Amino acid sequence: MRMDIKAVLKKNTMIFALVLLTLFFAWQTNGAILAPQNINNLIAQNSYVVILAVGMLLCILTGGNIDLSVGSVVCLIGAIAGKLIVTYHVNIYLTIIICLGIGILIGAFQGFWIAFVRIPPFIVTLSGMLLWRGIALLVLAGLTISPFPDHYLALFNNYVTNPKTALVVGIIISVGLVLIMFKNRSDKMKKEYEVGSLAGEATKLAVIIAVILGISYKLSQYKGLPMILILLAIIVAVYAYYTSKTVNGRYYYAVGGNEKAAKLSGINTDMVYFKAYVNMAFLASVAALVCVARFNSAAPTAGTNYEMDAIGSCFIGGASAYGGVGTIPGVVIGAIFMGVLNNGMSIMGIDANWQKAVKGIVLLAAVIFDVVSKRKQK
């Protein structure tokens, strides 16, 4: 039994760390961090991190590669959206399509050099970070564009009409997770795959459900279910299914685990790299549309250090610095962990410089944990 508890703790370290961190800040802030309005703020403030981290994970899976240009892409797409919607009064839905299309083109441009010319991703995306930021400043002429029309802001900032809907949705999701767990176990047993401890999986699920129900209850006490949370849920669900249940999704793990072996087995590794960076730019465009709605402006400083938040969330959420390891749920937990850490320290009034230092230490600790664990396994 002792070994089972140890295995559960080791496998779900970040979930329990997140719970402990939240309880610590709840104690230090007299419960302010768990106030309904603050829970809502946490979701709004960290929505872009979750979106970017999901895309960044696919890049990291291919071999520990990263995309340094995402913050600049967010700034550029936001600038284009501002020009089209505010300055030229273009239809908001047409603008969204144009912005997403430009994001895909940016990803294709960078992906071409990385996948087919084999220029290191670090160099290509570092160049992109400078290039796209420069173009964004030219588009904005160094000025901030605002305000955006209310019907655009409503797409990302509104709430489902009835606040109690949040609690109902939370219960439905919880029941769905239980059914999925038992279905997955049943499928594995039928195929005679190795099945983990039922107690371990149940403990993990119980913690996740408790968090979901707690957040749902808090949201129902405020304005209800935010539209941005629905968008995040859709993105996370789609990419979680893609990376874990589809053949193309598993290619990222294969390439990151051993690119030569993946190529010999018939996987088009060039296309895997290409798709990873096209997808990253596409999600950066989605994050840009979310950010301009949240801030109600397109500014020259938008997207600054966003790539660092996304990369940090991935590594804290269990992605390997060597590639081939990481999950979408883990990345989401990493993003929430970073959000709680930032929000908790801000409420406590900790100096911004110390906040950066703490975040740096946490990120380093996560990577050290990954490297040491790998050495022990070898």
Question: What are the pLDDT digits (tens) for 116-169?
Answer: 999 999 999 999 999 999 999 999 998 999 999 999 999 999 988 677 888 888
Query: For residue 193, what pLDDT is reported?
Result: 76
Spatial contact of 282 and 55, defined as CB atoms under 8 Å apart: yes
Q: What is the largest CA-CA distance in the chain?
A: 66
Model pLDDT, residue 289:
96
Q: What is the mean pLDDT of the chain?
A: 89
Please report which confidence band the pLDDT of residue 377 belongs to, taking 50, 70 and 90 as the band edges.
low
**Average pLDDT of span 268-292:** 96
The percentage of the chain sitting over the pLDDT mark of 90, rounded to a whole number, equals 54
Using CA atoms of 252, 253, 256, 257 in order, give the dihedral in degrees to the nearest 10. -150
CA distance 168 to 183: 23
CA distance 19 to 310: 21
Residue 17 to residues 6, 155, 319, 356, Cα–Cα distance (Å): 14, 34, 16, 19
Sequence letter at residue 36: P
Q: Determine the 3-state secondary structure of 340 from DSSP.
A: helix
Whether the predicted pLDDT of 211 surpasses 70 = yes
Residue 247 scores a pLDDT above 80: yes
Q: Is the dihedral of CA 330, 336, 340, 341 positive or negative?
A: positive
pLDDT tens digits, one per residue of 50-73: 999 999 999 999 998 999 999 999
Contacts of 6 by beta carbon, 8 Å cutoff, 6+ apart = none
Residue type, 88: Y
User: Would you tell me how many other CB atoms lie within 10 Å of the CB of residue 203?
Assistant: 18
> Which residue's entry shows tokens 């906040």?
355
H helices present in 296-327, as ranges = 306-316
The percent helix, strand, coil of the chain (3-state, each to 5) is: 80, 0, 20
Amino acid (1-letter code) at residue 17: A
Residue showing tokens 């901030």: 144
Asked whether residue 114 carries a pLDDT value surpassing 70, the answer given is: yes
pLDDT band at 260 (very low <50, low <70, confident <90, very high): very high
Query: Residue 301 phi/psi, 5° resolution?
Result: -90, 0
More confident residue, 239 or 184: 239
Q: CA 272 to CA 291: how far, in whole Å?
A: 28
Mean local confidence (pLDDT), 355-361: 86
Using the predicted structure, report yes or no on whether residue 79 has a pLDDT greater than 60.
yes
Return the pLDDT at 1.
39
Closest CA to 66 of 52, 46, 77: 52
pLDDT band at residue 275 using 50, 70 and 90 as cut-offs? very high
Q: Cβ distance 219 to 163 under 8 Å? A: yes
Dist. CA 73–CA 133, nearest whole Å = 7
Q: What is the sign, positive or negative, of the torsion defined by CA atoms of 298, 144, 84, 110? A: negative
pLDDT band at 359 (very low <50, low <70, confident <90, very high): confident
Say which range, 11-15, 85-89, 206-210, has the weakest mean pLDDT.
11-15
Q: Per-residue confidence at 3, pLDDT binned at 50, 70, 90?
A: very low
pLDDT at 310 over 80: yes
